[in-house]
Amino acid sequence: MPSTSPSSPRPGASASGAQLLDEETRERYARLARAQLGATAAVVSLTLDGAVHLGGSVASLVVARDAPVVSRDLQHDPALRDLLSGPDAEVGALVALPLRSIGTVPIGALCVVDAGPRDWSDSDLELCADLADVCSSELRLRGEHARSREIQRLTTQTNRQSRLLLLLSDAFADAITIDDVATTAGRVATTGLGARYAGLALLDEDGMSLTYTSLDGFYDEIDENWRTAYIGDDRPLSLVALTRKPMMFTDSAEMVRKFPMTASVSHNVTGARGMLPLISSGKLLGVLTLVWDMPRVFDEQSRAIKTALAGYTAQALDRAQMLAARQGVARTLQAAMLSPLPTIQGVTFASIYEPAARTEEVGGDWYDAIELPDGSIAVMIGDVTGHDVAAAAVMGQLRSMLRAFAWEHNEPPSAILSILDKTNRGIKLDATGTAIVARLSHEGDGLRMRWSSAGHPPPVVARADGTVEILQGRNGLMLGVEPSITRHDHEVLLGPGDVLVLYTDGLVERRDEMFLDGLRRLVTTLESSGTVAFAELPSVLVRDLVGDALADDIAVLLVRVDAQPAVPAPGAPTDLGEVAFR
């Protein structure tokens, strides 16, 4: 008689039946049926097993009919015998009852057989039905348990996917530059997806090649030639860019089989690879490459997460590239507005303009210097309210008017500021901001400076002897408030080697300190800058006083008196109308 134990499943067969009732449990029910009925053999056969054993074709028949199969003598029941196969067609008497798990559709059968003919009594059939019901109850219990585990698994997977998607949406919110995008994509890939490396390759301007922004995160020994890939190359990166379809490799060996030329860069890390096209508004921006330490299989949900990462990366990259383009235009505009400083005998200029951090790199700060028809020099600095292209545009108009007025009107600085303020109101420009206008006239070997301020931080003079003075005077109202007010002039004498320091408030203002504290820091920095080259001094001031955290635009204009010093007359005054602060 054939064995009652099922044989090994065919290759590729589902294991779902074994997960519901393991082999030991099914054998226990089979033993019980044999013992209670005195049968030759019995088996619990589940159609989900995909196995060939006693009862396999009987179970399929029972499931198909959704009804019991009973035969006194299978050998004399040709209609039934012809529907069975293998060992099932060779038995004598047969009783097979459907087994059910969750739902009403049977998933197998309890099969009881005798070697020869047998008249099955009512009690035999009732006992078989009871055993089938008990077996079905256990199947349902285990099925519910398995379904609960699957629901829990799917819920956990869904929650993890939701957290990753939330991480993606939050992570790229502050990515402003291309470097920000590359760093953020790498951080999300390593912390959220378990990748070892992430590389961002951008489509070059010619549209025919891609270049990685950095290879620092990849292999230590990678050839620099791998930084760039041409669209026609036999590389997965190139094919992804060409087809705009992602490519996933379970390990480096799979990648090398398809792209043999990658063998030289696949020996260090043998894990999985993923290459995702970055597409925004229908245009290809680049390809994101992910590398794992270990092999992995990419299921549907895993691919969905990686597709989402590519989508967020592409959107952030598109935004960063657009901002970079706008910044390029804005920097060109700003450079055009800040014309080169003149070359004037007897004085030397040095300057710097630094926009506020994380803006379009333009703003409302400016400086200017022109030589006037009478040989004197007009120097100006100002700060229009705002830190963007609109502020730069207003600044350009205000600066141009101030330059024209200083050239055309042989008036003191206070009068020039009044004319500017009235014109600002009259032509409906309505700009607001601060400014200083100074007129430097030759006097002996030095310069007499006459200046007026419209709400601007005070000028500072670094004397040739190393002392530093903050020039104090009556500060007028800022521009754009009340053009009819009376403005005032102040004077100071600048000797050979003295340096006039004009600046905007971004150089000295901090949120956590008083304005006077910022002025003290400026004085201290100037006092300790004796060995700094004059041309480098503006950059040093910005670096030492502000560092990299630019919260406001900064403009600095330095004017050094270069005439050879002369011996002053005894008791001659050195300045007028200012109070020195050390």
Higher pLDDT, 144 or 386: 144
Count the alpha carbons within 13 Å of 513 in the hemisphere toward its beta carbon.
11
Question: What is the reported pLDDT for 338?
Answer: 67
Cβ atoms within 10 Å, residue 181: 29
b/e 373-396 (16+ beta carbons within 10 angstroms → b): eeebbbbbbbbbbbbbbebbbbbb
Count Cβ atoms within 10 A of the Cβ of residue 20 and give its class: 0-12 exposed, 13-18 middle, 19 or more buried: buried
Using an 8 Å Cβ cutoff, are 321 and 178 in contact?
A: yes
What pLDDT band is residue 573 in, cutting at 50, 70 and 90?
very low
* Reported confidence tier of residue 102, pLDDT bands at 50, 70, 90: confident
How do residues 525-561 score in pLDDT, each as one tens digit? 999 998 999 999 999 999 999 987 677 889 999 999 9
pTM for this entry? 0.53
Strand-strand pairing, 347-354 and 273-280: unpaired
Q: What is the pLDDT at residue 308?
A: 83
Contact 66, 36 (CB under 8 A): no
Is a pLDDT exceeding 70 seen at residue 13? no
- Phi and psi at 432, nearest 5°, equal -120, 150
Confidence of residue 82 (pLDDT cuts 50, 70, 90): confident
Distance CA 200, CA 571 (A): 70
* 108 has a pLDDT exceeding 50: yes
pLDDT at 272: 92
pLDDT tier for residue 367 given thresholds of 50, 70 and 90: very high
314-362 pLDDT per residue, tens: 988 998 888 777 766 666 665 656 678 999 999 999 999 887 755 555 6
Neighbours of 141 (CB within 10 A): 13
Return the sign of the alpha-carbon dihedral for residues 47, 49, 55, 57: positive
- Burial degree of 333 (CB within 10 A; 0-12, 13-18, 19+): middle
pLDDT of 231-287, one tens digit each?
888 999 999 999 999 999 999 999 999 999 888 777 777 899 999 999 998 999 999
Of the candidate ranges 145-159, 388-402, 485-499, the one whose mean pLDDT is the lowest: 145-159
Rg (CA), the chain: 43
Closest C-alpha to 89, from 55, 52, 119, 64 = 55
Q: Above 90 in pLDDT, residue 513?
A: no
Mean pLDDT on 91-112: 87
Q: Closest Cα partner for 503 from 452, 457, 559, 536? A: 457
The mean pLDDT value of the chain amounts to: 83
What is the residue-wise DSSP string for 504-541? -GGGT--TTS-HHHHHHHHHHHHHT-TTS-GGGHHHHH
Rounded to whole angstroms, the Cα distance separating 132 from 118 reads 20
